[in-house]
Amino acid sequence: MFRTPAAAALLRRLGPRVSGGGGGASTHRRLAPPVSSSILSRYSSTPTSSPSPPPPSDAAADGDNRAESGGSGSSLSITIDRSGLYNPPEHSHEQSLDSELVKHLKSIIKFRSGPISVAEYMEEVLTNPQSGFYINRDVFGTSGDFITSPEVSQMFGEMTGVWAMCLWEQMGQPEKVNLIELGPGRGTLLADLLRGSAKFVNFTKALDINLVECSPTLQKVQYNTLKCEDEPIGDETRTVSKLCGAPVHWHASLEQVPSGLPTIIIAHEFYDALPIHQFQPTASLLFLSKRCGWASSEELEKVEHIEVCPKAMEITEQIADRISSDGGGALIIDYGKDGIVSDSLQAIRKHKFVHILDNPGSADLSAYVDFASIRHSAKEASDDISVHGPMTQSQFLGSLGINFRVEALLQNCATDEQAESLRTGYWRLVGDGEAPFWEGPDDQTPIGMGTRYLAMAIVNKKQGTPVPFE
């Protein structure tokens, strides 16, 4: 795979330094195991009120409440048959084992007297303001629940930076540009991008960094990863990354990011966490569903269920509208398919697959990204944008020069361990399946993500075809 001339020129100027990154084993993506009866029992419905007591028996009404009188001096006795009275179960004072999120989900189901959708369940589990999976903790890396490409190797962020700088040059090198990352995780990708582009002063000076992040915990992690400091400006303060001197802002949604500047958007493993709906393809649904309208009858006949992500369509339309009006482009990298997706919802906790209903809020939920849906959504939103790809992550990184980058970094490794970390990180990013060179423990064999992840670009037509989609 050959790098493009523009990428090659930028690649030669990247620093030879090896940063601390590199990670543990990545988790294989597969379908979750069947649900166990013990899990299902926790979601059984409970009565909304106590059942009505049964009517008293005829025997109790006619005979057992009688007063029996005998002769003079006889005692008076009354007997009551309680067999027909309602006896409520004994109240338990033991603390419920359900988490606060499970109690919240049960209360929603109870209030509606019926089930909630898969999309609602995903949204509550991942982003509930009090107990959502992403809200109150750092879930990334070997000590978390899963590993993403930026955590595997610094080269991923550096190659993404090469793409961003190439796009910036195609845009005419504007003096100011909005650099937006959707779902930045720890901020590792952006930190490596900024370090790698540090020599390109005109590019870093132009950046106004905007992070779309709903988790207060991860916002703090990103603040530290980007070496941020608060600087006074008159009566106010602004946050600046000391990695490049660019201002940094946080937003809860893309809509909150100010418009009006040329824009570069990066969405890495963002779309896979957006809530999906799962449907069976019925005639009425096909008529109503925009997604099914984009699919051929042959494609629909091959699946029993269809996953549709309205949130992905909505955000893609926002991206297309912004790029259409402000100029620029967006890079989307995620695992998924270029077509209809069926039955891909999965849960991961501590690098292992678990059932999606097992202790909600303690595991990540994600689903395959439907790249065909993203392409159609973008094209329908604006005639001024063009969509390119998807191509595999291996093709994307290879065209940008990762092969040459790993060779340069290997020459500057101080230890054998550092070199081994680079080699395994490189394989995880571009390889396919198990690494053939691995001689360590079998349970730590590096697994390549190069063909499982896809890259797609959405750009303003004025910029032409972006690197490396020519």
Q: Quick check: 185 pLDDT over 50?
A: yes
Residues 323-331, mean pLDDT to the nearest whole number: 98
Which SS3 state, helix, strand or coil, does residue 338 take?
Answer: coil
Q: For the chain, what percent of residues have pLDDT higher than 70? A: 78
Mean of the per-residue pLDDT values of the chain: 83
Tell me the CA distances in angstroms from 92 to 128, 155, 457, one per residue in order. 29, 57, 58
Q: What is the pLDDT of residues 272-282, one digit of tens each?
A: 999 998 876 55
pTM, 2 dp: 0.79
Q: What is the pLDDT of residues 17-47, one digit of tens each?
A: 666 544 444 444 433 333 333 333 333 333 3
Q: Quick check: 98 pLDDT over 60?
A: yes
Q: For the chain, what percent of residues have pLDDT higher than 90? A: 62
Q: Pairing state of beta strands 369-370 and 385-392?
A: unpaired
Is 13 in contact with 199 (CB distance < 8 Å)?
yes
User: Looking at per-residue confidence, does 453 or 444 come out higher?
Assistant: 453
Q: Quick check: 397 pLDDT over 60?
A: yes
- Cα gap 402→191, rounded to integer Å: 18
Q: Quick check: 245 pLDDT over 90?
A: yes
Q: Which residues pair with 448 in a beta bridge?
A: 433
Q: Quick check: 54 pLDDT over 60?
A: no
Is CATH 1.10.132.20 what the domain over 149-274+309-463 is classified as, yes or no?
A: no
The residue extents of the domains of the chain are 149-274+309-463, 277-305
- Cα gap 373→381, rounded to integer Å: 12
Residues 328-354, mean pLDDT to the nearest whole number: 94
